[in-house]
Amino acid sequence: MKRAMSDSAREAASLLEAEGLTVTIRGAQRTVCPVEGVGLSVKAGETFALLGESGCGKSMTALAIARLLPEAATISSGRVRLGGEELLALPESRMRRVRGGRIGMIFQEPATSLNPVMTVGAQIGEVLALHRGLRGEAARIEMRRLLEEVGIPAARERLDDYPFQFSGGMKQRVMIAMALAGEPELLIADEPTTALDVTIQAQVLDLLVRLQAERGMAMLLITHDLGVVARMAHRVGLLYAGELIETGAREDFFAAPLHPYAQRLFAALPDSAARGRTLDALPGGVPSLDRSFTGCRFAPRCPRAFERCRADAPDWSVVKGCRVRCHLYENGGEAPTRRQIVGGMAQAAISSRSSSSSLPVLEVDELAVHFPVKKGLLRRTAGWVRAVDGVSLRLQKGRTLALVGESGCGKTTVGRAILQLTSPTAGEMAFDGAPLHFHDRVAVRGMRRAVQMVFQDPFASLNPRLCIGDILEEGMVSLGVGGDTETRRHTVDELLKRVGLLPEMRWRYPHEFSGGQRQRIAIARALAVSPRVIVCDEPTSALDVSVQAQLLNLMCELQRERGLAYLFITHNLAVVRYMADEVAVMYLGRIVEQGPAAQVLEAPVHPYTRMLLAAVPCVDADTEAEKSMGTAKPGATAEPPSPLAPPTGCHFHPRCALAGDVCRATFPVARELGHEHIVRCHLAMDLTVKSGTF
């Protein structure tokens, strides 16, 4: 995707200017300063990416610019100008005209940002009435145009739908339509693609770039995803502990990041090159902001820190056009290139992986899960949603099988059906070679001890009324394992230490932990009953790259120590490249390609697999992989069909640029391409030859 921006826009004066922006939150016992002295500028037609870990102050900076701070927070100092107008001096009555009008905002989670009891048309209509004076039929015409502009089909009919009737990607598009309704000069996008699958993410990013080019908007993009920054930004600002520590052009930042914090973020990225070694995870976390700082705020986590770093706060230095707060550059120090940073980590200790055993720990054959659709007063069955339709998988000791695909393809349903959390409609399952009948309660109870699950949202899966110690003991008590009370408590303490937490944290509640810590607790809960298989449902979704690296390192260590088999359900293909031994690609309830990770990811055959890989934002814009995969994105802009009415023949054919008559008529049989690489595609042999696999 090209970054469209004219030379005149680059040379224009800044549309948004923030200087010395400081935010304080006063509590009963302490004062927190989440943003301190932040200064940035964004020109019309330009995208400025604000990058950093959770807790660094990115979202609070955006809320301060839009004057949407929580009640306890105040802007204690600084200036914010939009088109030369001082926003902090405006009364709230005038600021309401700016907010939603001149400044549009896309919030991080559309499901909670949209009003569930109002139609999407009514919500867009509120913006049109307030900021453009449009009502009645004129407003409805504009609502429909906005939905069409963001790529929502059947826009006229969908105006009267409620948010729950839209998919995650569609809800995000509705949020974009609402943000654009006031014809903003500045668009603030706060994590606009967090937790979206790669194809929907690509669509949303492409949409934002197109709309920016057409409207000449400035965009403040808030994200922790380096791939999204590489794809979208013109300039980058790196935040740490409420302070801006590096700014520069995107090209310079990605070629040679200056600050040690930026360098460690790049080194922590998982990919195939990092496979087999421990990721360079940042130790610790972002420091608490309820205290005053002396010296560099990153010094406690910095491997290059020296005495002065802990005593004196660094001032700005200029290195090759970029600005950085670091003592290392005060005398003109040179920064290593990003390739040198990542390459230097390749010397880390190589970890051994278990070899494949002949007997799988868990085997699933022709698993099907169909949900009835009931309609009418008598609730008669009017159809079936084939969420899972004939899936076969083999999980082996000490190895990881990644199940990938778009949202709604049935990945999570497969995991839940394996644990009998969702009743299978058909299929067979075997554990250690012995058949396991779905309706045998004794067998299922034994399997639930051996097969555990880590859910996507740890906060929703942890009981908020129980302390962590009770949560970890709950499974042991329920399954009758772990010994007496004293033995179980000792086991809990050891588990907490094993996942990097302190034993005394057992008395805390889930809301007292960060997202990464809650995911560690979820893993500890799964380990409490000594399982042999763990189903991981999006365990790194929405985590910062540094926290993600810590979690992946932990999972790899546990796998080596205990010989765990992982079913890794995810849409993060970078994590798949790092973790997976085998990959199964799922589309609309069926496996379309499956085999060793190296073959499936490096030489994909099915057009759907190629589309997924092409949609992944890459920090290396010039890598050979992106050149080869990015030349064509078959069907990347199309929406997946409904599982209630799947297409005839190959389910992917409506989105496939290569589909022929046979694809529309019959579902392809599985074809063996060698080395257990299997694909379901009528064109498999032709595509294999063209890709050079044979």
* Maximum separation of any 2 CA atoms in the chain, in Å: 80
Per-residue pLDDT for 637 more than 80?
no
| 346-350, 438-442, 490-494: least confident range | 346-350
Give the predicted TM-score (pTM) of the model: 0.85
Q: What's the average model confidence in pLDDT over 258-269?
A: 92
Residue tagged 């907490």 (tokens): 496
d(CA 184, CA 186): 5
Q: Is 518 part of any domain?
A: no
pLDDT of residue 232: 93
Q: Is 160 part of any domain?
A: yes
d(CA 520, CA 524): 6
Q: What's the average model confidence in pLDDT over 370-381?
A: 84
Q: Indicate the residue type of 192.
A: P
Structural domain total, the chain = 3
Domain boundary among the residues 347, 376, 397 is at 347
357 pLDDT band, cuts 50/70/90, is low
For the chain, the straight-line distance linking the first and the last C-alpha, in angstroms and rounded, comes to 31
Q: Is 292 part of any domain?
A: yes
Q: Is 635 part of any domain?
A: yes
| 91-95, 102-106, 405-409: least confident range | 405-409
Higher pLDDT, 481 or 342: 481
Q: What is the average pLDDT score of the chain?
A: 87
pLDDT of residue 690: 60
Which of 159, 227, 137, 123 has the alpha carbon at shortest distance from 571?
A: 227
Q: Which two tokens stand for residue 513?
A: 């932990």
pLDDT of residue 8: 44
d(CA 64, CA 78): 10
Domain boundary among the residues 321, 347, 373 is at 347
pLDDT of residue 626: 40
Enumerate residues 6+ apart whose C-beta is below 8 A from 94.
Answer: none
Per-residue pLDDT for 445 more than 80?
no
H/E stretch holding 367 reads strand 362-375
User: In this structure, how many other beta carbons lie within 10 angstroms of the beta carbon of residue 120?
Assistant: 28
Domain boundary among the residues 328, 347, 366 is at 347
Q: Is 684 part of any domain?
A: yes
SS3 312: coil
d(CA 364, CA 416): 13
Contact 687, 605 (CB under 8 A): yes
In the beta sheet, which residues pair with residue 582?
401, 596
| 85-89, 423-427, 617-621, 680-684: least confident range | 617-621
| 44-48, 309-313, 346-350: least confident range | 346-350
CA–chain centroid gap for 157, Å, is: 31
pLDDT of residue 195: 64
Q: Is 293 part of any domain?
A: yes
Contact 461, 541 (CB under 8 A): no
Q: Is 339 part of any domain?
A: yes
Residue range(s) defining the domain that contains residue 334: 255-347
| 105-109, 249-253, 428-432, 549-553: least confident range | 105-109
pLDDT of residue 381: 83
Q: What's the average model confidence in pLDDT over 153-168?
A: 87
Q: Measure Cα distances from 486 to 473, 489, 493 in Å.
A: 11, 5, 11
Higher pLDDT, 662 or 167: 662
Exposed (0-12), middle (13-18) or buried (19+): which is 641, by Cβ within 10 Å?
middle
pLDDT of residue 454: 92
Residues, the chain, total? 694
Q: What's the average model confidence in pLDDT over 601-606?
A: 93
Q: Is 471 part of any domain?
A: no
Spatial strand order in the sheet of 671-672:
451-454, 533-537, 565-570, 400-404, 582-587, 590-596, 678-679, 671-672
Q: Which two tokens stand for residue 649?
A: 């023949």
d(CA 163, CA 165): 5
d(CA 384, CA 400): 32
d(CA 664, CA 647): 8
548 pLDDT band, cuts 50/70/90, is confident
H/E stretch holding 574 reads helix 573-579
Contact 183, 101 (CB under 8 A): yes
